[in-house]
Amino acid sequence: PTSCPPTPQAAFAHLALAFRCDMFTLQQRVLVEKRARDAAEENIQEELGQCRGALERLGPFCTDVGSKETLEQLQHSLTVLAAAVERATSAAEKLGAVHQEARMSRAAEVMVQHVENLKRHHLREHTELEEMKRLIQQNSRNRQLAETQDDMEPRLRPHPLMRSFQQGSARRRVSIAVIPKQLLVRTWAEG
């Protein structure tokens, strides 16, 4: 089964949980790492000190020129090694800081992406809310207009008896208009 990459929301939730957990143990971890670093530096300095001591003890036994030159080269190499150890320690701390910065950069990217998603979601909901408000206001205006027209119509409408009178007279007019003139003439003549 293939696993899908986590959504920005899930990645944000995992990241937030990791930050919360880290906050509880951060001071302890800093102390542990400091002790480990200090112990490593002390061990290196102790080794370098033992090498210097061995070279100093070896000095009186080097009587010829060749062995004295070799002893001087070893002492010089030991000095260079001590300086290199200090530079390596400093570089290791910088590298650790850069690694931490890279992790935090990724974490910040996840957070920014999550915030952007929240902004888009908020904007979409705000737009929908504004559209709903507009529709509700429009419906309210339409309802008020319809109620106003209903209130005005009884005044504009004729009384039911007047309406039937108007309809009856309209029918009579139509019926008179429909009767041919010849029939009318005959009816008058017979009458």
Cα separation, 43 vs 93, in Å, equals 18
Confidence grade of residue 9 (pLDDT, cut at 50, 70, 90): confident
- How far apart, in Å, are the Cα atoms of 127 and each of 113, 131, 179? 21, 6, 67
**Tokens 């003439």 -> residue:** 185
Helix intervals (H) in 63-180: 65-156, 160-178
Distance CA 180, CA 172 (A): 14
| Token pair for 151 | 């209130």
User: Taking 70 as the threshold, does the pLDDT of residue 166 lie above it?
Assistant: no
Q: What angle do CA 115, 117, 123 make, to 5 degrees?
A: 100
What is the predicted pLDDT for the residue at 4? Answer: 66
Q: List the single range of 37-41, 53-57, 134-138, 177-181 with lowest mean pLDDT.
A: 177-181
The reported pTM is: 0.49
Tens digit of each residue's pLDDT (9 = 90 or more) over 46-81: 999 999 999 899 888 888 888 889 989 999 999 999
Tokens for 157, please give them: 């409408």
CA–CA separation, 66 and 62 (whole Å): 8
What is the Cα–Cα distance from 24 to 84, expressed in whole angstroms?
Answer: 36
Is residue 163's pLDDT more than 60? no
pLDDT at 170: 47
Cα–Cα distance for residue pair 81/84, rounded to 1 Å: 5
